[in-house]
Chains A and B, each alone.
Chain A
Amino acid sequence: MADIKRFLARRALTFIPTLIGVTFLAYIIAFAIPANPAQAWAGGIKANPEVVARIIKEYHLNDPWYVQYYYFMKGILTNSIIDPRWGYPVMTYMLSRFPITFQLTLFALFFLIVLGIPLGIVSALKKDSWIDALVRTWALVGVSVPIFWLGYIFIYVFFYQLGWINIAGIPYPKVHITGVPIIDAMLSGEWNIVWENIKRFILPGFTLGFAGIGVIARLVRNSFLEAINSDYIYFARMRGLKYRRIMTHALRNALVPVVTVLGLQFGGLLGGAPITETVFSIPGMGRAMVDAIFSMDFPLLIAGTFLVAIIYVITNLIVDILYAVIDPRVRF
């Protein structure tokens, strides 16, 4: 297990260039906007020139881009950059929004796992049946249909027509432990809050996960089929192993590539969150970033990008560790 510590340390070091790269790209894009952010932050066309000048000085807006970038990153890391619109430190603001997005992503991931994996297995076992065709269609439709369209259709059907779900407000439990409402509610046993959260998040979660479910199901199907047709499964049958044990062998082998893709999907879900959050008016990080774009609030935008990048690399780290747990051929 000394190996795993060294592995973690080594991987943590590789985070640094990744994070610098991502924030730098986001910064360059924000920098390239041909508008005058200081003017906008100070109140638009009629802004007080004195205020504009102060903002320019505060955010080093007249300095070359690399100086600006340096101050930005320093400010983000020490949480000393103040959001020009709200007056809070940007990281504090983003972090306060993060649990909501995390909860949304958990819901989507939940659907990916509890629907995607079984659907994949069933369509592998019943190859070329109607369910296999359904999964294939789902995967195709899922990647083709835009999230916002799907979201509005779901809202129309399940909220407007059927009234099964909520689409306003986030029910918070009384306690604050992790900050993620549904987890806190579970921990403190406020089951009605848990239920309210489920009613609030089930549809956005499903919408966000919709494309991924089809992708995961297809992947599980293919890798499960490959496992089932492999020599070791054939030899397992020749050895007269029981059906359930044979399936366990096949499933564990099939899951090796699935874990990788689930990790990537998690990042993809975070990326899809802004649209889903906007459609379902969920006050998460994605929504905050969309708002930040509209108001040229790029300190907030870069803070958000930074957070998403951190989550992404951490997810990948977890995937790598899981990988080694599942597959003994992978070692640190």
Chain B
Amino acid sequence: MSSPQFREPLIEVKDLYVYFYTYAGVVKAIEDMTFTIYKGEKFCMVGETGCGKSVTSRALANIVPSPGRIVKGKVIYYRDGKPINILELSEEQLREIRGKEIAYIVQDPSSALDPLYTIGYQIVETMIDHYTVKDWKEGYKRAVELLREVLMPDPEQRIKNYPHELSGGQRQRAVISIGLSNMPRLLIADEPTSSLDVTVQAQLLELLRRLVREHGLTLFLITHDMGVVAEMCDRVAVLYAGNIVELAPVDEIFKNPKHPYTMGLLRAVPNPQADIEKLEPIPGTIPNLIYPPPGCRFHPRCPFARDVCKREKPPLVEVGPGHYVRCWLHAE
């Protein structure tokens, strides 16, 4: 599935703008964001801290944290071929979608689980509130199965444990089984392994890949790790300062990166698909999004910056099959 032609969209983001209204000013976290996730694919979003990856993922179920607000745009979710604009739903309709059709796996499982309830309870309540099990008894049975499926050791005992009694990896497994509990159509994993140590990371990524394959889920994975991207994804979107700068099938990104930022990113980490002699950092720092640079947001750090880059924002153009770039180098 390296050249993905899943042409049935699951969720479409169109022209999305998310701003954060802080005391310091309006943080323009996401601007002009457009992408589609197709049914059954593994879609990755990669970028530095603060580039808007998480915010984008939260916007998919309209749960952007305060003081953030979606100021413009559409999020179209396809249920049985029927388009639904997520941003026009009532809070109760959204609640019914969240956790059931669009489920999240969060970055930090230690703070995401309520310390006062057993993990069994927290898995079961997620199902009870979506009516996917008939009662608590059935729920607990199901919770044991789920924990077994995410390879939690000794699941019958673990459901009685409180979060603080588990290790980091076990907690993340619990969070993953909460995400899976209602068999969502879209599973959003927001840096699911970055708070864990490397050996556990590899196990969990393998687990996620298996779960997605076996249950036919669609995965939206957020990461800052190009290695994870290479291992997990079908298509990848590279984010810089709230904009998608490049979107392409995963092989294309590694073999044929077009955007200077993507190229820089690949030179800054060990690339599994190209020989590079030494790692080079990208000069400069991420811009202040209250006063983002005019024109292309990357131009202050770009070795190829020209006059037009400082004045005008480049459009996202298709440069190859399914390969989009937002850069003046490729816009003409």
- C-alpha spacing A329/B117, complex, angstroms: 10
**Count of inter-chain pairs, beta carbons less than 8 A:** 74
A240–B96 CB distance below 8 A: yes
B117–A249 CB distance below 8 A: yes
B178–A239 CB distance below 8 A: yes
The interface residues of chain B lying within 8 Å CB-to-CB of A240 are: 94-100, 126, 129-130
Within 8 A of A (CB), among B121-135: 125-126, 129-130
Chain A contact-residue range equals 20 to 34
A232–B112 CB distance below 8 A: yes
Asked if A230 is an interface residue, CB under 8 A from chain B, the answer is: yes
A234–B129 CB distance below 8 A: no
Shortest CB–CB separation between residue B109 and chain A, in angstroms? 9
Choose one: B94, B96, B112, B130; the contact of A235 (CB below 8 Å). Answer: B112
Shortest CB–CB separation between residue A233 and chain B, in angstroms? 8
Asked if A128 is an interface residue, CB under 8 A from chain B, the answer is: no
A230–B111 CB distance below 8 A: yes
Nearest A residue to B130, CB-CB: A240
Q: Contacts A245-B129, A329-B162 hold; do A238 and B104 have CB atoms under 8 A apart?
A: yes
Asked if B108 is an interface residue, CB under 8 A from chain A, the answer is: yes
Q: How many residues of B contact A (CB 8 A)?
A: 31
Nearest B residue to A229, CB-CB: B66
The interface residues of chain A lying within 8 Å CB-to-CB of B97 are: 240
Q: Contacts A241-B126, A242-B95, A245-B125 hold; do A236 and B114 have CB atoms under 8 A apart?
A: yes
The interface residues of chain A lying within 8 Å CB-to-CB of B100 are: 240
B114–A234 CB distance below 8 A: no
Asked if B103 is an interface residue, CB under 8 A from chain A, the answer is: yes
B112–A231 CB distance below 8 A: yes
The interface residues of chain B lying within 8 Å CB-to-CB of A226 are: none
The interface residues of chain B lying within 8 Å CB-to-CB of A238 are: 58, 61, 63, 98-99, 103-104, 106
Asked if B24 is an interface residue, CB under 8 A from chain A, the answer is: no
Asked if A237 is an interface residue, CB under 8 A from chain B, the answer is: yes
The interface residues of chain A lying within 8 Å CB-to-CB of B125 are: 241, 245
A232–B104 CB distance below 8 A: no
The interface residues of chain B lying within 8 Å CB-to-CB of A8 are: none
Contact digits for A234-265, partner B, Cβ 8 Å, 1 yes 0 no: 11111111110100010011001000000000
The interface residues of chain B lying within 8 Å CB-to-CB of A243 are: 95
Shortest CB–CB separation between residue B56 and chain A, in angstroms? 14
Q: Shortest 4 CB-CB distances between A and B: which pairs? A: A240-B99, A240-B98, A231-B111, A239-B99
